[in-house]
Amino acid sequence: MSDETTPVDLEKEPVSAEDPAAAAPEAPAAPADTTDGETSAAAGLGRTTVTRIGQGARNVGASVRHTLTTGHQSDEEFRRLLVQRQLAAYDEVRETAREELEDVHKRITRLERIGAEDGWTPEQRQAVKVLREERKGRTAALKDLMKTPFVPVQPTDDQIKRARRAGSTRRFVALLVVIGLLGLLCVRAPQLLLLVLPVGVAVLWWLGRRPPTLTQRPVPERLLARAELALPAQAGAAPGVDPEEPRQYPIADVSTAEEAEEAVRRVITAVGGDLAAVTDGHREPWGWSVRVRFRSGSPDDLNEEKTYKRLITAWRLRRAGLLIEADPEFGDSCTVRLVMRDPFTPELVGAVPYRPPLSTSIVDRFDFGVGMDASELAFSLAGLMLIMVGDTGSGKSGIALALAEAVTSTRDAVLINLDPAGSGVGDLGPAITLDACMDQALIGNVLDFLIKLCSARARQRRAYGWGNKWRMSPEHPAFVVHMDEWPQLSEKNKKKLIRAILIGRKEGVWFEGFSQWGTKDYLGDAIGPKMPGKILGACRRVDVTELLGGGSIGEGYRADLLQPATHTEAGDAGQIYAQGLPGMPSRPVRYKFREITSEYAARVGVERAAAGLPDVTFTLTEAGLIKEWHKLLKAAAAPAPGPAADGGDDDEPEVPPILVVIAEAFVQEDDPEFLTLDQVHVYLKKDDAAKWGRWDDRDDKGRLRELGKALARELRDAGVTLSSERITEAEGQPRGYYAAAVQQALAGVSSDDSTDDS
């Protein structure tokens, strides 16, 4: 054994034999505990999440504060909003005036329809008179309003600040309302918190990494689009327009309404137009239509010849492809029509409506065609004194046939066909009640008969108590006279025709005249502009201005642009402009009549004759003219005499000018029962201001006394039997003329002429 011994650790407690655990071998050391590390990581994630949610809440708070204080809106936006309020008030005044004017017009139309159907009562007549005066006043007031430009008062800095504070207050109140409603909802339904809280926390967590953009937004497009809202320094040029940009803007390249509006705005601005707004761009089957409102100047300027040609070139349209329709109600506005193809397709025009025999009344609205804006060409023929002017190839004969076809379908009107050079509407054959063509003597006799009929009916109307218009019925039908080739009448017959036109309207004797020309030298008198209804087909520029007035071209009545048909090309035959058609707006819109073929007219003519035409025996027997009527029928059935027997070129005294002026005053005043001397004086001064305005410096009593003396002398010297009377129906019983007396005086001229001829 070795003598060396193992050292002993004196500090170690000696093992007791009695402690078995101590005697056991020492166990290995246990591994370190990981719970503390996991807890630390979870705490870090929680702190990050809470921090991110808190940052999200701060971001939301910053965005809400930015919005509540209107920090996202610029001063320029608030300035435009304040000016927009002024513009809204400006537009509202005009819109209210338009609505009130339209209401008055509807009331007049309703009363006129009732009067035409049931006769006038004194109360209705007075009501219509008052409403017409009101309409004149409102129309004048509206025109004055439209002439006043929009000149805004620019807001000051203090006003902009107040507007900003008001916006903040509204937003804050709205936020409180929303929070209150959400709180109330959660109190009523606490279970919603289980949904709202997690969603809210998730949203805040998501926004924690997305800081808000606290900047001002651009001015909204709706505020930039209105030129009226710009500062005066900006108003001279539309926003975004480069003054160096090319002036050509081919309309064929346009594909959207916005592009069409922009094309119109750029080109009209380039030719010097001062535009306030370009709106309502609309694609049409034939091209584009756009509404334009001017700030200064007039839409009529666009129809000036040089400007019109520049616009055609800039838009690259065909020669007559630009139509500018001035708005009759708003002098600063117009509709620009950019025509790229034929506007009247067969699908748009449609087929001729079939009208069974005796199925209509002359007071009905007849559907004759369509406008290029898809509006109806529909109007009544009752009371219509009409003239149509159109060159050869304008479709004049077809339009005359369409009107005559409608007349022959009625149960309370008959058709008389007069034509000194052709057959007129002879295609209707037996549906025509009296046919007098290519015979000047017979035409003259028919006109004499119609003048006598007017005088007889004036007496009948008063005896029946029918008011101031003839009441149509199958027993008392209207006489509608178709007068073709007006300029071909003899001078004698032209004068008779004009007299009949002046007195026939109230007596149910109405004339539809047709001519290739519309000037005084062809018609025999300046009667064309005085005809209530006017239709213009393809014709001369001078015809348009003669019939519709010197400003009609500028307003958009461009019948001079219509192309007449040829043997090989249809051209614009049947297309027209119109004024004064009952129930139709007097707007420069192009319309097209549906074509009535000769074959169709012949077929319905035979059908209507077989069913029976309205019988004139009763009404002419009452008028004491039945024997003369039978003589005319017999003469019309006889073979027409040769040219030597026309009997139409004898000299015939004209209606004295003084009587024409008085009769025209009644026509212009819508055929009242009477006119006072004071009312007649207005028209006398229009005719000759120097002669009839000599007493304007006197008081009313002295002026009217001298006027009465002068009128009596003038009528006596002209050989006219007409004296002023006390108008017992008028307040104060002033002196004046009754319509019946004026009609008798006109008829007396014809009777004297007939006596002289015999």
Whether 522 shows a pLDDT value over 70: the answer reads: yes
Whether 241 shows a pLDDT value over 80: the answer reads: no
Q: For domain 236-339, give the CATH number.
A: 3.30.980
Sole residue written with tokens 């050292």: 7
Mean pLDDT of all residues in 530-557 = 88
For residue 380, CA distances in Å to 12, 111, 360, 372, 583 come to 136, 16, 11, 20, 7
In angstroms, rounded to a whole number, what is the distance separating the alpha carbons of residues 653 and 491?
10
- For 225-234, 376-385, 394-403, which range has the lowest pLDDT when averaged over its residues? 225-234
- For 174-188, 243-257, 384-398, 653-667, which range has the lowest pLDDT when averaged over its residues? 243-257
In angstroms, rounded to a whole number, what is the distance separating the alpha carbons of residues 282 and 261?
9
Mean pLDDT of all residues in 209-228 = 78
Do the first three CATH levels of 236-339 and 346-645 match, i.e. the same topology? no
Whether 191 shows a pLDDT value over 80: the answer reads: no
- pLDDT per residue as tens digits for the range 305-317: 888 888 988 898 8
Whether 136 shows a pLDDT value over 50: the answer reads: yes
Whether 143 shows a pLDDT value over 60: the answer reads: yes
Whether 263 shows a pLDDT value over 80: the answer reads: yes
Answer whether 87's CB lies under 8 Å from 150's CB. yes
The domain limits of the chain are 44-231, 236-339, 346-645, 657-757
pLDDT of 288: 92
Whether 415 shows a pLDDT value over 70: the answer reads: yes
pLDDT of 14: 44
- pLDDT per residue as tens digits for the range 711-723: 988 888 888 888 8
- pLDDT per residue as tens digits for the range 356-393: 999 999 999 999 999 988 889 999 999 999 999 998 88
Whether 653 shows a pLDDT value over 80: the answer reads: no
Mean pLDDT of all residues in 674-683 = 89
- For residues 192 and 505, the model is more confident at 505
Whether 239 shows a pLDDT value over 80: the answer reads: no
- For 50-59, 216-225, 518-527, 573-582, which range has the lowest pLDDT when averaged over its residues? 518-527
In angstroms, rounded to a whole number, what is the distance separating the alpha carbons of residues 274 and 16?
121
Answer whether 164's CB lies under 8 Å from 172's CB. no
Answer whether 426's CB lies under 8 Å from 435's CB. yes
Cβ contacts of residue 552 below 8 Å, gap of 6+? 544, 545, 588
Residue of 638, 622, 329, 348 whose CA lies nearest to 477: 622
- For residues 646 and 598, the model is more confident at 598
- For residues 518 and 733, the model is more confident at 733
Residue of 22, 24, 27 whose CA lies nearest to 12: 22
- For residues 476 and 202, the model is more confident at 476
- pLDDT-derived band at 35, boundaries 50, 70, 90: low
**Within 10 A of 452 (CB to CB), how many other CB atoms are there?**
19
Q: For domain 346-645, give the CATH number.
A: 3.40.50.300
What φ, ψ does residue 588 adopt, rounded to 5°?
-80, 60
pLDDT of 151: 78
